[in-house]
Structure 1
Amino acid sequence: MNFWKNRPLVITVILTIVLVTLLITTANTDSQSGPVSILGGILKPVQSFFYNITEEIGMFFEGKASSAELQEQNAQLLEQVTAYEEQLRDYQELKAENDRLRELLNYVGEKEYEIVTARIIGTMPGNWYDEFTIGAGSNSGIESGMVVYNADGLVGKVVYAAGGYARVLSIMDGSSGVAVLVERTRDHAVLRAVEGSQGLLQMYYLREDADIVPGDKIITSGIGGIYP
């Protein structure tokens, strides 16, 4: 009695077994005939459907794996680019410093001076253009009264030297006066800072008919013995 009450379930199970058997048979047989062939033709689209679904799922997960690998590779490349950029900045800084030193040596030329290079390490509060501190002192042979210059020309003179540093009085200081001459015309003058300006110098005691034109080079004359 119970068997017939569950007849729909029994029929479903039997049909499922038959269908699975036929699927296996049609998959492993090269040629069929009769009812098996007909049923195989009916079930073939179903097989193809599930096969395609399986392939697409596999490709989806492969794509996910490939995407993760690409992200990891991109992160590694980004780190390498950052490292190369830092190396490039260091190289550019070294090159700029090397160029400045070359210009400085070319400025010295064949003059018999003992050169000590130094960096500016400090300035006077509110008095940046007049006085500053360099990172070389008596330990490097620096003495008070020595001349300070860069590749562009005269900067000032040392007014105090300690073991590891020295103070420099710039030619921009109002109390400084530098004996100069115009290289082209040999006209003499005294070079001083323009009061109240930042970075401007003016030649005083220059004769009125001096033939001065823009671009003339001004050099120290050596008069007074402070600057060569």
Structure 2
Amino acid sequence: MPSFFRRKILILVLVAFIIFVTLIGFSIRERENISAPERFILDTTGVLQSIIHTPVEWVDNSIETFQDVLRVYEQNEVLKERLAEYEGLIVENQELEEEIEELRGTTERAEGLEKYSPVQASVIARSPERWFEQVTINRGSKHGIEKDMAVITKEGLIGKIQSTAAFHSTVKLLSGFDTSNKISSWVVKKNGDNVFGLVEGYDEESGRLLLGGINLDVKLKKGEKVISTGLGGVFPSRLQIGTVDEVKNDEYGLTKTAYIEPAADLYEVNQVIITRRSDQNDKESQEENS
């Protein structure tokens, strides 16, 4: 009996295998019409493939989009860095151009001081306590700088030497002048009748110089230039001081006071010229030779 059942099972397996092979061969051959079970299997497989393909494609597209955004972000950061570097170069270039222009202006101004041996210097510091009154320059007594020498920029007069050390000096700006620091001046008139006055102070509220001692019968116009007379021996003649901005009678009604807009920017000073007299240079050369 056991052998009979084994043979029966083997026969069934063999028959099933033959049927299976026959079905495979029948399925893979080219046909125009397929059976209902095959259509069912085909449709079911297509639906399952669509269901699986859609999220997979969405995830794949999302990953590609994220990668594109990441690449754009990285490129944008690189462009920002290069733009910042470019802007820095522009600012640096502008500063260099301004410095060159200022140096060119001071050189041209120095060439116009025939009776002097101008000494060019750079501002290296401003006193925090007296920011608007004085600056420190990199020239001192070793360069022939002495107290009360006039100091100018390419625009005009800015002050005078207040004190000196061997290699540095302190400049008292016009904004720190008072009645003890007077400058004899001319208000230049078109008809040649220049008006004499004295720069004798600074109005902190308006940021203008005070030109006093002007006769009441004198008429001044806004915009007329004010220059130094050269009297007194401290300031060279014809240095630009500023322009007339406003005229008022003094508190006693005896003279007029003109408010002068400074020619030079007293708050932005970088390159200056010290007006050193030529005869001082000659004397020092003779002393050194002797």
Q: With structure 2 as the length reference, what TM-score do the two structures score?
A: 0.58
Counterpart in 1 of 2:281? none
Give the % identical residues: 23
- Partner residue in 1 for 2:213: 205
| Shift in alpha-carbon separation, 1:40–1:151, aligned structure 2, 3 A | same
**SS of structure 2 residue aligned to 1:189:** strand
The one-letter code sitting in structure 2 at the alignment partner of 1:180 is S
What's 1:48 paired with? 50
Amino acid at match of 1:210: V
Q: Secondary structure at the match of 1:206?
A: strand
Aligned positions of 1:92-171 closer than 5 A:
92-108=94-110, 110-112=112-114, 113-119=117-123, 121-123=125-127, 125=129, 127-171=130-174
Distance 1:102 1:58, change over 3 A: same
Q: Structure 2: which 5+ runs fail to align?
A: 1-19, 237-290
Unaligned runs of 5+ in 1: 1-17
Q: Is the 8 A contact 1:178 1:192 kept in 2?
A: yes
> Is the Cα–Cα contact under 8 Å of residues 126 and 134 in structure 2 kept in the other structure?
no
- Normalising by structure 1, what TM-score? 0.72
Residue 11 of structure 1 corresponds to none
Shift of residue 192, structure 1, vs aligned partner: 0.7
Question: Could you tell me which amino acid in structure 2 is paired with residue 159 of structure 1?
Answer: Q
Aligned residues: 205
Compared with structure 1, are the counterparts of its residues 80 and 128 closer, same or farther at alpha carbon in structure 2 (3 Å cutoff)?
closer
Aligned to 2:83: 81
Q: 1:178 matched to which residue of 2?
A: 183
Counterpart in 2 of 1:226? 234
Q: Which amino acid counterpart does residue 193 of structure 1 have in structure 2?
A: G
- Whole-angstrom CA distance in 1 between matches of 2:204 and 2:113: 36
Q: CA deviation at 1:141?
A: 4.5
* Contact 2:110 2:118 (C-alpha < 8 Å) held by counterparts: no
Q: CA deviation at 1:154?
A: 1.2
2:261 corresponds to which residue? none
Mapped contact 1:129–1:199 kept (Cα < 8 A): no
Residue 245 of structure 2 corresponds to: none
Which SS does the other structure have where 1:157 is aligned? strand
**In structure 1, C-alpha distance between the alignment counterparts of 2:139 and 2:159, rounded to whole Å:** 15
Contact kept in structure 2, 1:124 and 1:131, CA below 8 Å: no
Cα drift, residue 69 of structure 1: 1.9
Residue by residue over 1:48-100, the C-alpha shift from the partner in whole angstroms, topping out at 9 and shown as x without a partner, is 33333332222222222222222222222222222222222222322333343
What do you get for the CA RMSD once the two structures are aligned? 3.4
> Which residue number corresponds to residue 33 of structure 2?
33
Cα gap change, 1:107/1:31 in structure 2, threshold over 3 Å: closer, same or farther?
farther
1:51–1:146 Cα change, 3 Å = same
Kindly state the Cα deviation for residue 148 of structure 1 after the two structures are TM-superposed: 0.2
Higher strand share: 2
